[in-house]
Amino acid sequence: MEMDRYEIKESDNRANGSAPEQEPERQYYYMALVKELVQKQEKELGRPLTFCVTTFGCQMNAKDSEKLAGVLLSCGYQEKEDEEADLVLYNTCTVRENADNKVYGRLGYLGSYKKKHPHMLIGLCGCMMQEEPVVEKIKQSYSFVDFIFGTHNIYKFAEILYKRLITEKRVIDVVKEADKIVEELPSSRKYSFKSGVNIMFGCNNFCSYCIVPYVRGRERSRNPKDIIREIEKLAADGVKEIMLLGQNVNSYGKNLEDPMTFADLLREVNKVEGIQRIRFMTSHPKDLSDDLIQAMAECDKVCHHLHLPLQSGSSRLLKDMNRHYDKEQYLALVEKIKKAIPDISLTTDIIVGYPGETEEDFLDTLDVVEKVGYDSAYTFIYSKRSGTPAAKREDQIPEDVVHDRFDRLLKTVQTLGAKKAEQLTGQRLPVLVESLNDHEEGLVTGRLANNSVVHFAADPSVIGQIVDVTLKECKGFYYLGEM
C-alpha cells in the first residue's frame, strides 16, 4: 500500500499532557500514544504487531478503509492480508441483508480464533454500526468484539483504539449525526497510480428502499480548495487516475457557504497537472444537469463513462421509490447524454422484486434496458432494510417470481452488453494497467476509459502506466488484447 506522507511529530507525543482540542492534531496525539503501547507490546511478544482491515460495501467504504489503514500504520502496526492478525477491523455495509450476514459469519470464525489468541483485538465500524439493533446484537451475542464505531466519527479511530488499549474494556462510540469533516488524516492507498477522493458525505434523497441516509447522514460537501489540494498531492505522488466519490455527486456543493456545482468542480479538477483520468460516482438522474453533461464533454480528462442508476423502468414504481423522475424523463436524459457524448459508456443499478412490482412493471424495466443499451448493469434482488418505508409494505414479491425476473433481466443485460462490447474489437485504445492477471502467468490486467477490463501479455513493469492496446477478442465483459 502507498502511504500518504503524513508523519507523527515528536511534539505531539505528550504522554503526560492533555490532548489537543483541535482536529486532526488531537488524533495525531493519540496515534503517538498508541504507537508507544504498540512498541511496548512488540517487545513483550518479540515480534511486530499486525493488522487486517476488511472492507464490505461501496467505494466510499473502501476509501474509509484506506484512512483506517493509514492510522494503524502510523501507530506502528504492520499490515497483513489475512485475518490471523493482532488487530482485525471490519468496515461494514448494510445496503443489503447479504452484507450483514457476511459480517456475522466472519465474526463467528474470529471468535473461535480469538480464544486461542486472547491478546487479539477485533473492531467493527461502518454503516452497520449506525443501526442500534445491530449494536445491541453485537453486545449480546459477540462479546469478544473490542471496539465499535460508526460512519460519523471515523476520524476518531486513533482515540477510540487508545481508550480500548488503556482501559482494556470494550469501547462503543457511535454518534447519530456527523459534527465535522476532518482533513489531513493519514491514508494508505491500495494503488500507487489511482485513488478515490471523497468530495461529499451523506445523502438527502431518502429513496424508499435505501438505508444510506439513515446511516451516512445528511449531505455534507467538502471545501473545493481541500479537494483540489488533495488531488494535487496525489498527482505529485504519481497518481494518474482519480475517482470523485459521493452518494450523489450531482448535488455536490449545495450546502457550502459559497455554493459550487459539481460541473464547476469537475472543470477545476480537470486543470490539475499530472492527473490523466477522472471518474466519478454515483450520479442521481434527478440532479444530472445540462451543465454537467457539457462539462463531461469538454473536459478532456473526464472518462466517457457514466454510472446512472435506473433502479426500475416503471414510472409507477419510481414514484413509490421516491426517485423524482419517471421512465420517459430517464430515457430523455439518456438521449441528451448520448447526443453530447456519442461514445459514452453507460452503466446502471437495477432492483428486481421491489414491493408491489407487477409483470408489467418488470417489462417496463426490460424496455428501458433495451432502449438504453447499457454496457453493463449491477442487478440486485430487493433486500428489505428495517426502518425504510419499503420494508413496511405488505405486498412483498414471492421469491420464485423474483428469481425468475432476475434471471430474465440478467440474460438481457448480458446479451446487450456483449453486443455493445463487441463493437470495440479491433480498436487500439489506451489502457491503465492495474495488476498482474489473477489466472494466467505472463498477462496483466487493466481498464479502458469506459471501465471495461482488458487482459494482455506484458512485462509487470507497465503496471501503473497507461499504454495503447489493440483489442483482439471480446469475451463478453472483458477483452483479450495485444500491446
Query: Could you tell me which of 359, 358, 338, 362 has the C-alpha nearest to residue 350?
Result: 362
pLDDT at 447: 97
Judge whether 205 and 179 are in contact, CB under 8 Å.
no
**Dihedral-angle region of residue 197 (phi above 0 means left; psi in -120 to 50 means alpha; beta otherwise):** beta
Judge whether 406 and 379 are in contact, CB under 8 Å.
yes
Q: Which amino acid is at 167?
A: T
pLDDT at 8: 43
Cα 191 from Cα 189, distance rounded (Å)? 5
The residue count for the chain: 483
- E runs forming strands in 266-421: 277-281, 305-307, 345-352, 376-381
Cell numbers linked to 148? 465499535
What residues contact residue 436 under an 8 Å CB cut-off, 6+ apart? 443, 444, 445, 460, 463
Cell numbers linked to 92? 461494514
Helices (H) and strands (E) in the chain, counts: 13, 21
Please provide the DSSP assignment of 83-117 as one string. S-SSEEEEEE--SSHHHHHHHHHHHHHHHHHHHH-
Judge whether 293 and 254 are in contact, CB under 8 Å.
no
pLDDT at 3: 53
pLDDT at 9: 43
pLDDT at 12: 41
Q: Could you give the angle at the alpha carbon of 196 between the alpha carbons of 199 and 480, nearest 5°?
A: 140
What residues contact residue 209 under an 8 Å CB cut-off, 6+ apart? 321, 351, 354, 382, 385, 388, 390, 391
Query: Could you tell me which of 201, 186, 218, 138 has the C-alpha nearest to residue 3?
Result: 186
Whose cell is 460508526? That residue is: 150
pLDDT at 115: 94
pLDDT at 5: 40
Name the DSSP letter for residue 368.
H
Q: Which amino acid is at 3?
A: M
Cα 217 from Cα 176, distance rounded (Å)? 8
What residues contact residue 189 under an 8 Å CB cut-off, 6+ apart? 1, 2, 3, 4, 66, 195
Cα 440 from Cα 232, distance rounded (Å)? 36
pLDDT by position in tens, the chain (length 483): 555 544 444 334 444 468 999 999 999 999 999 999 999 999 999 999 999 999 998 888 999 999 999 999 999 999 999 999 999 999 999 888 888 899 999 999 999 999 999 999 999 999 999 999 999 999 999 999 999 999 999 999 999 999 999 999 999 999 998 878 899 999 999 999 999 999 999 999 999 999 999 999 999 999 999 999 999 999 999 999 999 999 999 999 998 999 999 999 999 999 999 999 999 999 999 999 999 999 999 999 999 999 999 999 999 999 999 999 999 999 999 999 999 999 999 999 999 999 999 999 999 999 999 999 999 999 999 998 888 999 998 999 999 999 999 999 999 999 999 999 999 999 999 999 999 998 899 999 999 999 999 999 999 999 999 999 999 999 988 999 999
Q: 157-167 vs 25-45: helix axis angle to the nearest 10?
A: 40
